[in-house]
Each structure stands twice: as structure tokens, then as C-alpha cells.
Amino acid sequence: MTRKIWVFDTTLRDGEQVPGAKLNLYEKVEVAKQLKKLQVDIIEAGFPASSTGDFNAVMEVAKQVGNTSDIMITALARAVKQDIDAVYNSVKYANNPMIHIVLGTSDIHVEKKFNKSKDQILQIGVDAVKYAKTLTNEVQYSTEDASRSDFEYLWSTIEAVMKAGATMINVPDTVGYAEPQEFGEMIYKLNDRMKNLNDKVLLSVHCHNDLGMATANTLAAVKNGADKVECTINGIGERAGNAALEEVVMAMITRDKVYGAQTNINAKEIMNTSRLVSSFMGLDVQVNKAITGDNAFAHSSGIHQDGLLKSRDAYEIISPTAVGLDDMELVLTARSGRHAVKNALEKLNLDLTAEQFEGVFENFLTLADAKKEVYNHDLYVLVEDYFKKHNMATETTYSDYFYEIEDLQVISNSIFPSASVKLRKGEAIIKHSASGSGPIAALYTAITEMTEIETKLVEYNISSVSRGKEALGKVKIQVAYEGETYLAKATHTDIMMASAMAYINAINTIIVEKMMPETATV
Ligand SMILES: CC(=O)SCCNC(=O)CCNC(=O)[C@H](O)C(C)(C)COP(=O)(O)OP(=O)(O)OC[C@H]1O[C@@H](n2cnc3c(N)ncnc32)[C@H](O)[C@@H]1OP(=O)(O)O
Ligand SMILES: CC(C)C(=O)C(=O)O
């Protein structure tokens, strides 16, 4: 039988502990609404005692998102009356409020942090739970630093707080010290004892990623009886972060026979949630991050691309559509082979003879060696160049459709930010200037007015690819056009040039998908 695993999302509490990731009230509510669409069971919305801003944000999440019976809203408190009151007074507006109390159980915490005896700390925990129970029925108790605690003391604490009324026991690997086998064994023993005492109390885990094992430890706990997992979107959180919700959930779906457990998560909302959190918190997702990284479903090497074209399961264990992406991406690079390039040409209706293909492929490799990625609009131009070189007539001049940047100048000031841009479209040269509220707005306005393709810039993201003065700027954008979104990127030492190139890549992609004539055959 498949067990149900509860998902407790702590993106808005532990995730928000990432330096610089603080969200305002509006942003917290928006993320919480998206977490509800993702169908998490519990949202930990913050730490209300820490500031008035966070108290109000938690209260707003409780009111606006906790207003239905399918979700529980909680927030964190130390084992301190004032913190517990702050949690209660903010989460009480939810249909299902819960108070979450944390207190350490390891010798390090008891002796060095609190300078108290084990009995004193245990009593403080019990009193905190008893007090919280006078306010709400649902109370979770977290035994901070559980994985470095003396097992019998950890158990005495859990037993005592369960008797005091805790409805969920959360066992944290606070400093990411645990190892899957060892952590699994600890959870097995705790589960056994807990179920004997009161089988209605849920056993939960909260794992950190200091040794890169947060997901593995969480899944080991699931295998060994844990009922609930605490996670964050994109694995963000204090220091090296927490177990990533998308990894834990997709592992249970993909390896269902191993875990025999499932969550209620609507996996198709994973990418939307990841992008929203990344954009609001200003935290880029590492490109190779499992499930939500840019390259998680992108294949770039010839042998893999060939294998995928023959049978998807050769190199794919999860369909990208399962997490809300359109499809896998075959990125054309200098490591691509003939099968992938032929497939891309065929998709564009560019049917070539074997001899023509070999000629185009040779030129493709030369271009790919010079560029990081070859786009569909580059393929059109490669085919056209081949035909021109071999004095063959073409019905359509493809390069007449696409834009290339020849030059640009951007003036950034607080009075009148402006941009002058020179574009090439086939043989034609177009020049234009525009102003805007900032340099990027001016640049993108100039290009929009020249190309007459009205897009909406949904996201603009710039990062440095390397260190130092010569660092390359990498620009990633998302634009909307006629109800669809297009992602594009570009890299250049000049960040304005990288910004313009990314935008032109998006424009050319829109042209390929929406504006190339059906009859565009060679
Ligand atoms: C593992 C985790 O992620 S736990 C959650 C971490 N999150 C946060 O810390 C939320 C943000 N924190 C804050 O805003 C502040 O630290 C506050 C409001 C919690 C406390 O602020 P202050 O009162 O100024 O105390 P400060 O943070 O300097 O020190 C923590 C105090 O809480 C005590 N404390 C720490 N953990 C606990 C606990 N679980 N239960 C009871 N007391 C605790 C410490 O011993 C210390 O008390 P002391 O002043 O008597 O030595
Ligand atoms: C509050 C607890 C669950 C925590 O964040 C930790 O121990 O890491």
C-alpha cells in the first residue's frame, strides 16, 4: 500500500533565512498562493517574533492562503512564551493553524548554548508545548540538532512533549551532519517507539545540505517510517540549504517501488513555483540543479541527443512535462552530432539531400565552435549560405527575416537614459534611438520599435560568469508574446551588448515560431 507523506514547505521561513532573500508581505503572500497551487500540506510562513513586518506577513498568509481546509499554516517559535504568542496571534486567522516550537536536544545546545541541565531543557520544552496547547490543538515540536543528540535523551524529550500534547514531532538534522544509513536507522527506532506511544502523532524530518545529503537523508527517513518531510523550493535555506522539495517529491514519484510512498504535490506546478521563488528572492537556481536547474532537461552532446531521438528513455528518467516544462531541450552545440542537427533542420521543414546536409553540418560545426549555442535562426542562415555558396536558387531569403546587432550605444543617467542601436536585417541596415526609464528599458524600447515586435519583458536576470574585471556578463530573459513566453540568453564582456543579444535572440525565436512563411523551402 502507498503511504501518504505530508509535505511541510519552509521556503518562507528557513528558505528566507538566506542572506538577501527577505521577502516583503506582498511577495510572501504571492509565494504562499503558489505553494497552495503546488498542493503542499503545510506552509511555514515565517518567524513572527522576529519583526513586525514578518508578523504581519505571516498573518496575511494565514488570512489569504490559509482560508481553506486543505492547507495548514504555521510559523516558528523558540520555547519562549512571547514567541509562541506571536505565532498564535498571526496564524490564528487560518482555518488550520499550527504552532511550531523548536528547542535543542544535543549536548552542544543544552550545555553550550543554554548552559542548563538536560532536565531543565526538557521541562522548558514540555512547558512550551503545554502553553501552546492552550492556544491551538496542532503543535509541532522540533528537537533541534537531533542528529547530534544522545539518542535516549532525544527519545525522553520526544516522549515527554508527546505526552504534553505535541501533534507532530520534527527531527532535524540541523547542521547537515547526518548520513543516510545512520539517519534512516535513527528514524526507524524513533518511529517504532512513537507509534507504540501514540500512532496519531506524525513523525517528520528536516534535513540540511551541508554535506550535500539533505535529499538523501530525507528519503532515507521516508523509507524508515517518517510521515512528513520538511523541504524548501530549490533547496534554499540557512547555509547550504534544505532538502529540495522538487527532488524529494520527484524521487518518490520516479522510484515509487523503492519508497512505496507518495505526496499530494501537483508536480506540474514545480517549475512555476521554482521560478517565482527564484525571481522574488533574487536567488539564481544553479544550472545543473536537479529538476529545476536550466539544464535539468537539456541535452547537448551528440551521443545523448542521438539516443534520445531513438528512444527517450535512453537518457531521460522524468518527462519534463511532468514538472510543468514544455519538453526536453536538445541544445545545438559544438558537441552535437548529425542526428540532432538533422532533427532540428527537419523540424524547420528544411529538407536537404545527404550531400547538402553534410555541407551544412560542416558549417554548423564551424559556427558552433565560435558560439556557445546555435539557435534555429542560425540554422536558416547556415542553409541559405550553403545554397548561395553553391549558386543554388532559394525561394526565400531567410536572412531577410532575422536581426543581428551591428552596434549600440547606451547612455545611463538619471536625466534621460537613452540607447542608439544599429541592426542588420539581411542586406538592410536599420538605425534607431529611444529613451526609457533606465538603460535596459531604453535599449529594449529601441529594439522593439525597430523590429515592430511588441513583447512584454517578464524577467531580466544578469549574472557574472567568471570573476574579475574581465568577467563575462550572462543575461537571461523571459519575454511574453501573444500569450506565450520565450526564454533567451546571451553572454558578452559588455553587459549592454549581452542584454541586446539576449533580446535579439528572443525576437529571432519568435520570428522562427510565428512569422516564417509556410512556403519557406529551399
Ligand atoms: C535552526 C533554525 O533555523 S532556528 C530558527 C532561526 N531563525 C531565527 O533566528 C529567526 C530570526 N531571529 C530573530 O529575529 C532573533 O534572533 C530573535 C527575535 C529570535 C531573538 O532575538 P534576541 O532576543 O535579540 O536574541 P538573540 O537572537 O541575540 O539570541 C537568542 C536568544 O534566544 C535563546 N534561544 C535560542 N534558541 C532558543 C530556543 N529554541 N528556545 C528558547 N530560547 C532560545 C538564546 O539562548 C538567546 O538567549 P539569551 O539572550 O538568554 O542568551
Ligand atoms: C526549526 C528547525 C526545524 C530547523 O530549522 C533546524 O533545526 O534546522
Going from the first residue of the chain to its last (522 residues), give the mean pLDDT of each consecutive group of 10, the final group possibly shorter: 95 97 97 98 98 98 98 98 98 98 98 98 98 98 98 98 98 98 98 98 98 98 98 98 98 97 98 95 94 95 96 96 94 96 94 96 96 92 91 77 96 94 95 96 97 94 75 90 92 94 96 77 49
Q: Is 295 marked as a binding-site residue?
A: no
Which residues, 6 or more positions from 192, have their beta carbon under 8 angstroms from its beta carbon?
Answer: 225
Pocket-testing residue among 12, 18, 47, 108, ligand 1, by greatest number of atoms within 8 A of Cβ: 47
User: What residue ranges define each of the domains in the chain, with the CATH number in brackets?
Assistant: 3-281 (3.20.20.70), 298-394 (no CATH), 400-519 (3.30.160.270)
Bridge partners (DSSP) listed for residue 487: 478
Q: Is 432 marked as a binding-site residue?
A: no
What single letter denotes the amino acid at residue 354? A
Give the distance from CA 88 to its chain's centroid.
30
Q: For position 519, what pLDDT does the model report? A: 47
Q: Which protein residues are within 6 Å of ligand 2, measured from CB?
A: 14, 76, 102, 142, 144, 170, 172, 174, 206, 208
| Cα 260 to ligand 2 centre (Å) | 26
For 442, phi then psi, to 5°, come to: -65, -45
Q: Are strands 473-481 and 484-492 parallel, antiparallel or unpaired?
A: antiparallel
Q: For position 467, what pLDDT does the model report? A: 66
Output the residue whose Cα is nearest ligand 1's atom 12.
50
Torsion (CA) 353, 356, 361, 362 in degrees, nearest 10: 150
Cell output for 459: 524577467
Output the residue whose Cα is nearest ligand 1's atom 4.
102
Please provide the size of the chain in residues. 522
End-to-end CA distance of the chain: 58
Q: Which protein residues are within 6 Å of ligand 1, measured from CB?
A: 14, 47, 49-50, 76, 78-80, 102-103, 113-114, 144, 174, 238
d(CA 39, CA 23): 21
Task: Give the atom of ligand 2 at the shortest distance from the alpha carbon of 175.
Answer: 8
SS3 label, residue 493: coil
C-alpha dist (Å) from residue 192 to 155, 179, 188, 357: 11, 20, 6, 65
d(CA 177, CA 154): 16
| Cα 36 to ligand 1 centre (Å) | 29
Q: What number of helices (H) and strands (E) belong to the chain?
A: 17, 18
Pocket-testing residue among 47, 84, 144, 242, ligand 2, by greatest number of atoms within 8 A of Cβ: 144
| CA-closest candidate to residue 246, choices 82, 468, 11 | 11
Pocket-testing residue among 13, 17, 44, 50, ligand 1, by greatest number of atoms within 8 A of Cβ: 50
Question: b/e per residue, 99-113, with b = 16+ CB within 10 A?
Answer: bbbbbbbbeebbeee
C-alpha dist (Å) from residue 141 to 94, 98, 159, 171, 210: 20, 11, 11, 9, 23
Q: For position 518, what pLDDT does the model report? A: 62
What single letter denotes the amino acid at residue 54? D
Which residues, 6 or more positions from 248, have their beta carbon under 8 angstroms from its beta carbon?
Answer: 215, 218, 219, 222, 229, 231
C-alpha dist (Å) from residue 208 to 4, 178, 239, 281: 23, 9, 8, 19
Complex ipTM more than 0.95, yes or no: yes
Task: Give the atom of ligand 1 at the shortest distance from the alpha carbon of 49.
Answer: 18
Which residues, 6 or more positions from 255, have their beta carbon under 8 angstroms from its beta carbon?
Answer: none
Q: Which one of the ligands is nearest to 112 CA?
A: 1
d(CA 365, CA 379): 11
What is this structure's pTM? 0.91
* Kind and range of the H or E run holding 457: strand 456-464
C-alpha dist (Å) from residue 462 to 91, 104, 284, 293, 480: 37, 40, 10, 16, 18
Bridge partners (DSSP) listed for residue 229: 7, 205
CB 285 within 8 Å of CB 293: yes
Q: Which one of the ligands is nearest to 103 CA?
A: 1
- DSSP one-letter code for 242: B
Q: Is 242 marked as a binding-site residue?
A: yes
| CA-closest candidate to residue 157, choices 192, 118, 184 | 118
| Cα 213 to ligand 2 centre (Å) | 16
- State the CB neighbour count (10 A cutoff) for residue 448: 18
